[in-house]
Structure 1
Amino acid sequence: MLDADISKRVWIARYLMVIGIVILHVPPYQALSELDGSIFGYIKAFFAHGVFRASVPVLTVMSGYLIFATQLYLKPVKLFKKKVSTLLVPLILWNLPLAIAVYLVQRFNIIDYQFSMELYPFDLFIWLDANLGLSRIPINYPLNFLRDLFVIALLSPLIGWVLKKGAFLGLVGVFIVYFYNVEGELILRNSMLISFYCGALLAYKSYDLRRLDKYAFPCLLSFVVVCISIVAFQIENRELFRMVSPFMIWPALSLLESTKLGTLLYRYSGNSFFTFLAHGPLLVILWVVFNKLPVELPYYVFWLLTPIIIVCLTIIANRLLKCVAPRVALVVLGNR
């Protein structure tokens, strides 16, 4: 069992990072080199290329920590069964309907939108990629996180063996695997392997997760400065930032716990997984609607309102699903 305060911070961090992923994915993508010099452009880049690029690393570190803190890695069969239900099943169930929808849209040319995959005409290997992300990002593109996390989670017994033989030497080995891409297509976003290992290391060594809380404000300030620097100097390679950012964000979250915002995030944190699963298709729908509006609205209105709309919609939809079809909700939400 996790300490109550740590558990609360995990829930707050999880929901905040998921909301950050929603903001990160608001279309269209704009590279740092394409900034137009406007104040809004810099604000958007600060969050999209800086602040919320840390979302996946934070979630991955926490996943590694939780698997090892609960010693689930010592029970491979139980680990496999749990991760199939909590990660693989939602991965499939939240990709398949979208894949079918995209197929129909492309088959009958319903709307003019450039999807990440051509699912018409039917091709088995492309459809396997679309639903499972075997060699590339699935059709519900944010779910590549679930795909990679599932693979890495199944490697937990091996990671546990490495930690037992030499935790820090193992960390060096993981860096080598990452740097030379030894794992190939097994893990699409291989920096997640480092984040997961770091979380596992923290749990295995039973480190006090509050140790850096006394440096919360300097950590927050450092994080903001780094994010500003990424935008100001147009730093495209953010791999090091992804690896380090969780260790700046985690202590900084101690400043949020007792605030009204922290309380609000904790209260609604049970919606985090539903929000994560549903936000990709909702973003596409809202973007298409925005571009079809009879009146022309500034893009910043879309960027500001879309995450709020998605968060509100997913809270309502999650409650309705659990009330109307609780057993279905359990399956599609990975027994959460």
Structure 2
Amino acid sequence: MTRMPKHPGAAAPSRDDEAVLNRLASAEWDRAPGAGGGPLGHAPNAADLSRTIEVARVLLVIGLVFLHYGAIPPGWVSPFRGVDPDAPHRVASFVNSAVLFFFFSAVPLLSTISGWLFFRFSEKRVWPALRRRIGARVRSLYAPLVVWNAVFLLALLALHATGEGASLLRQMNIDFDHADGMAYVNAVLGLTDHPVAFQFWFVRDLFLTALLSPLLWLSLRHSPWLGAIVLGGAWTMDWNLVVFFRADVPFFFYLGALARLRGYLPMPSGRATSALVAFYVGLVLLRASAPLLVDVDAPGTAWLLDFATRAMRPVGVLACWGVCLRIAAAPWSGAVARHSNFAFFLHATHYPLIAAVKLVLWHVLPAETDVWLLAHYAASVAVTVLLSFGAARLIAAVSPGLYTFLAGGRDIRVPSRA
């Protein structure tokens, strides 16, 4: 754990992330005792930290694409339960479920990073700074959410009108044959239910967390640990605080903010990262194996498994953060980090795109074996990422301003600065 200068909220007086990182680089970091001997075996400077955040964004969003592959055809048994004991191809079912559980750490880590970056202003002008940040989140989070979901809704309505695509439409978060007016409102705005592109639940909850940031600030300033206990208790008990879809976002956002304002940054060494990853992978494999070990349909078992799955996530956050630190230190990390400005666009487009790609590629599957099912899994993710990247490049070439808006304010043509 690296200690930063303990000046709550004073990490940067500027609105610019680059200014934040430059300030952190200006000899304000202390050396991390016991850190590993690699390039990041010390407290990171501005470039180290920015590179790590860029790497994290890219890899975690790609992880979400894997997570949203969903059930393997033709059985369509949810991988959220774990391996399907009755599946004729248990290896593919197990791998799918294990990868899904591994990337359950993606949203918590992204939320933690968001909270750490959000509170980067001087305490002397807290309320104007919060107003600016909330306004910026309207433009970078909620406005793209509305536009993207409106586009997806219109496209799916057009498909429904043709009478085709029943297999795809069954997977969507709206039933056009029975939807009422509120269902259409939520499909676009995500007010009380998930939007039609359901991955935007995270963007919606992140935006709502930003709206509530004045309350979070008061808690962080006057009763930081009480706020952590309340939010952590809600998250542990799977209570989504009425207004959120999942308590992961406000809780881990708060933890990121708390770490920032208390002056700490986790910096696991190479050895500690290896131990964390090994431990986390062991937990993931055990959770994916649960249906082989216990009766998952027995009374109370589902709740215990859900609790265990949540309890794994903090370990996953530290493990994945450590991995991102190691990757950022590698000479080839620039090849990953330079795509950071593509991460939001990929998050926005990957569903229902991957659902359609999965169905198309299923028709060309040579045989239903474990090897081919896993190949279908990997190919579906790869094709989805490539199609999304191609669409990003095309839109950016035709209208850079439109791309920047659709990508949450990030210009694909310029390097990211976290």
**1:74-120 deviation line (CA, Å, top 9, x unaligned):** 42321221011110011111111111122233333222221331135
TM-score (norm 1): 0.90
Aligned to 1:142: 199
**1:183-230 deviation line (CA, Å, top 9, x unaligned):** 21x101112221111111011112134266662222222222221221
> Cα 1:46–1:176, aligned 2, differ >3 Å: closer, same or farther?
closer
Helix, strand or coil: the match of 1:183? Answer: coil
Aligned to 1:82: 136
Could you tell me whether the CA contact under 8 Å between 1:133 and 1:144 is conserved in 2? yes
Identical positions, percent: 23
Alignment RMSD: 2.4
For residue 130 of structure 1, report the CA deviation from its aligned partner. Answer: 0.6
Aligned AA for 2:64? I
Could you tell me whether the CA contact under 8 Å between 2:83 and 2:94 is conserved in 1? no
Q: Which moved more, 1:228-237 or 1:137-146?
A: 228-237
Alignment of 1:145-156 (within 5 A): 145-156=202-213
What is the rounded CA distance, in whole Å, between the counterparts of 1:302 and 1:225 in structure 2?
25
Helix, strand or coil: the match of 2:199? Answer: helix
Could you tell me whether the CA contact under 8 Å between 1:62 and 1:199 is conserved in 2? yes
Aligned AA for 1:242? R
**1:42-95 deviation line (CA, Å, top 9, x unaligned):** 22221112x111111111111111101356974232122101111001111111
> Counting helix residues as a fraction of each chain, which structure ranks higher?
1
> Cα 1:278–1:159, aligned 2, differ >3 Å: closer, same or farther?
same
Aligned length: 334
Q: Which moved more, 1:144-153 or 1:323-332?
A: 323-332
What is the rounded CA distance, in whole Å, between the counterparts of 2:323 and 2:405 in structure 1?
34
Could you tell me whether the CA contact under 8 Å between 2:361 and 2:380 is conserved in 1? no
In structure 2, which of residues 383, 387, 402 is the aligned counterpart of residue 309 of structure 1? 383
Aligned AA for 2:257? A
For residue 134 of structure 1, report the CA deviation from its aligned partner. Answer: 1.5
Q: Provide structure 2 residue ranges, at least 5 long, that are not aligned to the other structure.
A: 1-19, 22-45, 72-77, 292-304, 411-418
For residue 162 of structure 1, report the CA deviation from its aligned partner. Answer: 0.3
Helix, strand or coil: the match of 1:278? Answer: helix
What is the rounded CA distance, in whole Å, between the counterparts of 2:234 and 2:70 in structure 1?
33
Helix, strand or coil: the match of 2:70? Answer: coil
Alignment of 1:57-72 (within 5 A): 57-70=108-121
Q: Which moved more, 1:321-330 or 1:224-233?
A: 224-233
Between structure 1 and structure 2, the one with the greater Rg is 2
Alignment of 1:24-103 (within 5 A): 24-28=67-71, 29-30=78-79, 31-32=81-82, 34-35=84-85, 36=87, 38-49=90-101, 51-70=102-121, 74=127, 75-103=129-157
Helix, strand or coil: the match of 1:257? Answer: helix
Could you tell me whether the CA contact under 8 Å between 1:103 and 1:120 is conserved in 2? no
> Cα 1:310–1:70, aligned 2, differ >3 Å: closer, same or farther?
farther
What is the rounded CA distance, in whole Å, between the counterparts of 2:391 and 2:315 in structure 1?
35
Could you tell me whether the CA contact under 8 Å between 1:68 and 1:204 is conserved in 2? yes
> Cα 1:220–1:83, aligned 2, differ >3 Å: closer, same or farther?
same
Aligned AA for 1:27? G
What is the rounded CA distance, in whole Å, between the counterparts of 2:265 and 2:343 in structure 1?
26
Verify: 1:23 aligned to 2:94, yes or no.
no
Helix, strand or coil: the match of 1:138? Answer: coil
